[in-house]
């Protein structure tokens, strides 16, 4: 039975991935390591929780030893918009934190899952059908740390034989935990504002296509990649994975199928727009499909249906019998 540690466990992905891992490998076998945000009831009651600052190698090492961890899902990071606000801290958390985790994994023989991102590409990358192996010259601190992280993980695999694996996640849509300051957060906010005010002002311009994915697919991708037969993996880290590609007006149109009075307008934030413009419109994820059988379950219609239902339940605002 695996002994798993999840860093960044109270974040958007971690709060759901931890519960899914506990269901699969047993509650006591999955340790949730949080940081600033207090773990919620579901996390505390379903298994072991601890505090961890991944930039302090001692706390990473002690936790791995204490719980006899053999697999680390390293999710602690600063996301794209948050990283542009504080690039120095982003470098520290995203690079020093990752380096510490890889070093502890090397010393103690752990496997490591690390999410990269569509932010690892850049303005010179082909924006349509973005290949698995292509030009990566990002112009954001987030992107710089993601490319460096991809390379570092490949290095630890080739040089030290550490079982590192990872995906390039697109924007993730979920309702349980708010997103942590990314460029694709609008695709979560829009559902909350639709339910609350029937109106949303979007900080990205009309026509801004980006890859997206619903959280159940993101969790499935992480677990399936970590369980994949290593003999089939030609790549190790940074697999392109996507489920859908859309622009803000397409989400609005989908919401209007349930809520015809919903309106969207635009007040463009130049920082996040510039980041979005440097990211792919749509990635080619055929390597993930061929090497470990990646396939998404949710499209925009099914995500919208579920998000409206779940967010209205969470906010306690009825969808007026629809």
Ligand X SMILES: NC(=O)c1ccc[n+]([C@@H]2O[C@H](COP(=O)([O-])OP(=O)(O)OC[C@H]3O[C@@H](n4cnc5c(N)ncnc54)[C@H](O)[C@@H]3O)[C@@H](O)[C@H]2O)c1
14 is an interface residue for ligand X by CB under 6 A: yes
> Which one of 67, 73, 121, 169 is in contact with ligand X (CB under 6 A)?
169
Task: Report the nearest approach of ligand X to the CB of residue 241 (Å).
Answer: 10
Site for ligand X in 69-128 (CB under 6 A): 75-77, 79, 93, 97, 115, 117
Q: Is 29 exposed, middle or buried (0-12, 13-18, 19+ CB in 10 A)?
A: buried
Contact pattern from residue 256 through residue 285 relative to ligand X, giving x for each residue in contact according to CB under 6 A and a dash for the rest: ------------------------------
Residue 230: DSSP 8-state: G
Q: Phi and psi of 204, rounded to 5°?
A: -105, 150
Task: Report the nearest approach of ligand X to the CB of residue 10 (Å).
Answer: 5
Stretch that binds ligand X, among 6-14, 255-263, 270-278, 280-288 (CB under 6 A): 6-14
Judged by CB, which is closer to ligand X: 12, or 71? 12
Judged by CB, which is closer to ligand X: 121, or 157? 121
Q: What is the Cα–Cα distance from 101 to 112, expressed in whole angstroms?
A: 8
Q: Where are the alpha helices (DSSP H) in the chain?
A: 14-25, 41-45, 57-66, 80-85, 87-91, 97-108, 141-160, 186-197, 215-227, 248-258, 270-277, 286-292, 300-315
Catalytic residue among 25, 67, 99, 142: 142
Judged by CB, which is closer to ligand X: 115, or 280? 115
> Which one of 54, 152, 210, 252 is in contact with ligand X (CB under 6 A)?
54
Task: Report the nearest approach of ligand X to the CB of residue 123 (Å).
Answer: 18
Helix (H, G, I), strand (E, B) or coil at 47: coil
21 is an interface residue for ligand X by CB under 6 A: no
Beta carbons of 275 and 80 less than 8 angstroms apart: yes
Q: What is the Cα–Cα distance from 203 to 5, expressed in whole angstroms?
A: 35
Respond yes or no: is residue 142 known to be catalytic. Answer: yes
Q: What is the Cα–Cα distance from 105 to 110, expressed in whole angstroms?
A: 4
Task: Report the nearest approach of ligand X to the CB of residue 322 (Å).
Answer: 28
180 is an interface residue for ligand X by CB under 6 A: yes
10 is an interface residue for ligand X by CB under 6 A: yes
Q: What is the Cα–Cα distance from 283 to 289, expressed in whole angstroms?
A: 12
Q: What is the Cα–Cα distance from 280 to 122, expressed in whole angstroms?
A: 8
Task: Report the nearest approach of ligand X to the CB of residue 273 (Å).
Answer: 17
Beta carbons of 20 and 48 less than 8 angstroms apart: no
Beta carbons of 115 and 75 less than 8 angstroms apart: yes
Task: Report the nearest approach of ligand X to the CB of residue 52 (Å).
Answer: 5
Question: Active-site residues: which are they?
Answer: 142
Which residues contact ligand X (rule: CB under 6 A)? Answer: 7-8, 10-14, 35-37, 52-55, 75-77, 79, 93, 97, 115, 117, 169, 171-172, 179-180, 182, 184
């Amino acid at each position: 039975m695996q002994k798993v540690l999840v860093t960044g466990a109270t974040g958007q992905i971690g709060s759901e991935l931890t519960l899914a891992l506990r269901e699969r490998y047993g509650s006591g076998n999955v340790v949730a390591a949080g940081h600033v945000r207090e773990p919620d009831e579901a996390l505390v009651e379903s298994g072991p929780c601890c505090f961890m600052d991944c930039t302090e190698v001692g706390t990473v090492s002690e936790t791995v030893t204490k719980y006899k961890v053999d697999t680390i899902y390293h999710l602690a990071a600063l996301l794209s918009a948050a990283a542009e606000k504080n690039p120095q801290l982003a470098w520290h958390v995203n690079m020093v934190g990752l380096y510490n985790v890889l070093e502890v994994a090397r010393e103690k023989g752990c496997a490591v899952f690390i999410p990269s991102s569509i932010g690892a590409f850049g303005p010179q990358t082909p924006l349509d059908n973005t290949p698995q192996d292509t030009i990566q010259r990002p112009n954001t601190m987030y992107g710089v740390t993601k490319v460096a992280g991809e390379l570092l993980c490949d290095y630890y695999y080739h040089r030290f034989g550490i079982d590192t694996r990872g995906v390039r996640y697109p924007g993730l849509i979920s309702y349980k935990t708010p997103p942590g300051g990314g460029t694709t957060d609008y695709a979560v906010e829009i559902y909350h504002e639709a339910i609350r005010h029937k109106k949303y002002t979007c900080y990205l311009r009309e026509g801004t296509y980006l890859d997206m994915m619903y959280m159940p697919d993101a969790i499935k991708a992480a677990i399936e990649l970590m369980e994949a037969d290593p003999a089939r993996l030609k790549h190790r880290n940074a697999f392109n994975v996507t489920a859908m590609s859309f622009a803000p007006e397409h989400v609005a149109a989908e919401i209007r199928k349930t809520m015809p009075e919903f309106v969207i307008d635009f007040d463009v934030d130049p920082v996040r727009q510039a980041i979005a413009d440097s990211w792919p419109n749509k990635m080619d994820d055929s390597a993930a499909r061929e090497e470990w059988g990646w396939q998404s379950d949710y499209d925009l219609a099914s995500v919208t249906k579920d998000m409206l239902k779940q967010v209205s339940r969470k906010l306690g605002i009825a969808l007026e019998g629809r």
